[in-house]
Amino acid sequence: MNESAAPRKIAVVTGSRADYGLLKPVMRAIANEPALTLATIVTGSHLEPGMGDTWRAIAADGFTLDARVPLAIRAEGRKPP
């Protein structure tokens, strides 16, 4: 890669604890690569208080949350807002 070129931005989208567990090592590798810049986008159950607000765990792991994309998730037995 051309050393004078700007770092490439790689966006990672995670929507649940299940996929975050798989993506976390990939995200670390991207974040640790000088030629890359990580953009973290959280959505889905990560943003649901009833599902634990798990976005906090991502932030606690040291990742910057570049975007939050709320979705209208309805847990079974729960009425929509």
Question: pLDDT (tens digit, 0 to 9) for every residue of the chain, 81 residues total?
Answer: 556 688 899 999 999 999 999 999 999 999 999 999 999 999 999 998 888 899 999 999 999 999 999 987 665 555 555
Chain-centroid distance of CA 67 in Å reads 8
Task: State what percent of residues in the chain have pLDDT above 70.
Answer: 84
Between the alpha carbon of residue 22 and those of residues 31, 57, 72, 74, the distances in Å are: 15, 14, 24, 24
The structure's pTM equals 0.81
Pair 55, 63: CB distance under 8 Å: no
* Residues 35, 26: Cα–Cα separation, whole Å: 15
In tens, the pLDDT along 35-44 reads 999 999 999 9
Q: Which residue has the tokens 């670390």?
A: 28
pLDDT of residue 37: 97
